[in-house]
């Protein structure tokens, strides 16, 4: 794996393997029927690893890690600090993603350790060097009482206009699937059901597909995104569906 971006994965019982990061989205989780993540963490005797536990995304040349509102959480160790991952964070060479996999008889946690390795990482400039400000991160806040959405970019909140009823329905469902500000990847099938109901409820002459869903998503993006051609709030998760980056729910 020399010269490539990779993960060095160590299981709770100490078995180590490596995997190259191929593509722009790498999903991490537990293999299940009709669900096969790019990085499958097994064995998982306690079923503490989520089916889509977290993901790594390449965004404008920078790798980001996102917890998918997993039940048991994701930890990120960066240098000497270990924190629970909420929302999305950048990962750099040597950072370690920790996912609970087992416990000792005495109750000590045993983690899957995924070390991020990037041989081409940019080194930190000397103290005092001028660096450009970080790229603003866009998110959405939804007020359930007033049924209003607000776009937040670099801390500045702007009311969203032009949302149609189905757009509100999509946002309310995806916001409801979020927890503590963590973005959740919702698959195509569940979003189709959220918008048009279960298949058995459809009219006999009508069927709803990903094409119909994509039309609603495009309309929502025209209202909520700073740049609809490069979505940052309602993102596409390749091979899965869509993810909504939220900032608080009221």
Tell me, what CATH number does 69's domain have? 2.60.200.20
Helical (H) or strand (E) element with 168: helix 165-176
Do both 22 and 70 map to the same domain?
Answer: yes
**Which pLDDT value is given to residue 232?**
92
What does 175-203 look like in DSSP terms, one character per residue?
A: HHT-BTTB--EEEHHHHHHHHH--GGGS-
Sign (positive or negative) of CA dihedral 165, 200, 50, 213: negative
Mean pLDDT of 76-98: 91
Q: Is residue 123 part of a domain?
A: no
pLDDT of 89 strictly over 80:
yes
Output the domain CATH number for residue 208: 1.10.10.10
Contact 151, 137 (CB under 8 A): no
Torsion of CA 174, 114, 83, 237, to 10 degrees: -20
DSSP state of 41: -
Mean pLDDT value across the chain: 87
- When pLDDT is cut at 50, 70 and 90, the band that residue 1 belongs to is very low
Contact 94, 115 (CB under 8 A): yes
Give helix 165-176 / helix 188-196 axis angle, nearest 10°.
130
Q: What is the pLDDT of residues 15-48, one digit of tens each?
A: 999 999 988 899 999 988 777 899 999 888 888 9
Number of domains in the chain: 2
**Distance separating alpha carbons of residues 50 and 41, to the nearest angstrom:** 10
Contact 155, 201 (CB under 8 A): no
- When pLDDT is cut at 50, 70 and 90, the band that residue 179 belongs to is low
Does the predicted model carry a pTM greater than 0.85?
Answer: no
pLDDT of 196 strictly over 90:
yes
> Residue 75's domain spans which residues?
6-117
CB neighbourhood size of 91 (10 A): 21
Do both 186 and 230 map to the same domain?
Answer: yes
pLDDT of 62 strictly over 50:
yes
Q: Which residues contact 235 (CB under 8 A, 6 or more apart)?
A: 183, 242, 243, 244, 245
Do both 103 and 145 map to the same domain?
Answer: no
Contact 207, 200 (CB under 8 A): no
Where does a domain end: 57, 84, 117?
Answer: 117
Q: In the sheet that 185-187 helps form, which strands lie side by side, from edge to edge?
A: 185-187, 241-244, 234-237
Do both 95 and 22 map to the same domain?
Answer: yes
Q: Which residues contact 125 (CB under 8 A, 6 or more apart)?
A: 131
Mean pLDDT of 47-53: 91
pLDDT of 238 strictly over 80:
yes
Mean pLDDT of 68-73: 89
**Distance separating alpha carbons of residues 73 and 50, to the nearest angstrom:** 9
Q: Is residue 203 part of a domain?
A: yes
Q: Is residue 133 part of a domain?
A: no
């Amino acid at each position: 794996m020399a010269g490539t971006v990779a993960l060095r994965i160590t299981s709770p019982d100490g078995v180590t393997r490596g995997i190259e990061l191929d593509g722009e989205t790498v999903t991490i989780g537990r293999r299940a029927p009709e669900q096969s993540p790019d990085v499958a963490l097994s064995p998982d005797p306690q079923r503490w690893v989520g089916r889509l536990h977290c993901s790594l995304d390449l965004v404008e040349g920078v790798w980001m890690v996102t917890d998918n509102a997993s039940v048991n959480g994701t930890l990120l160790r960066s240098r000497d600090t270990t924190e629970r991952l909420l929302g999305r964070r950048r990962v750099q060479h040597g950072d370690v993603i920790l996912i609970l996999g087992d416990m000792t008889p005495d109750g000590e946690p045993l983690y899957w350790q995924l070390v991020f390795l990037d041989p081409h990482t940019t080194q930190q400039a000397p103290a005092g060097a001028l660096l450009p400000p970080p790229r603003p991160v866009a998110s959405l806040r939804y007020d359930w009482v007033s049924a209003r959405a607000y776009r937040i970019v670099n801390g500045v909140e702007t009311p969203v206009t032009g949302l149609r009823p189905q757009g509100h329905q999509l946002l309310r469902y995806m916001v409801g699937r979020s927890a503590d500000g963590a973005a959740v990847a919702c698959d195509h099938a569940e979003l189709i059901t959220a918008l048009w109901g279960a298949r058995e409820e459809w009219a006999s002459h009508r069927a709803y597909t990903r094409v119909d869903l994509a039309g609603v998503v495009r309309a929502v993006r025209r209202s909520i995104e700073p740049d609809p051609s490069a979505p940052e709030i309602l993102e596409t998760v390749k091979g899965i569906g869509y993810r909504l980056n939220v900032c608080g729910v009221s």
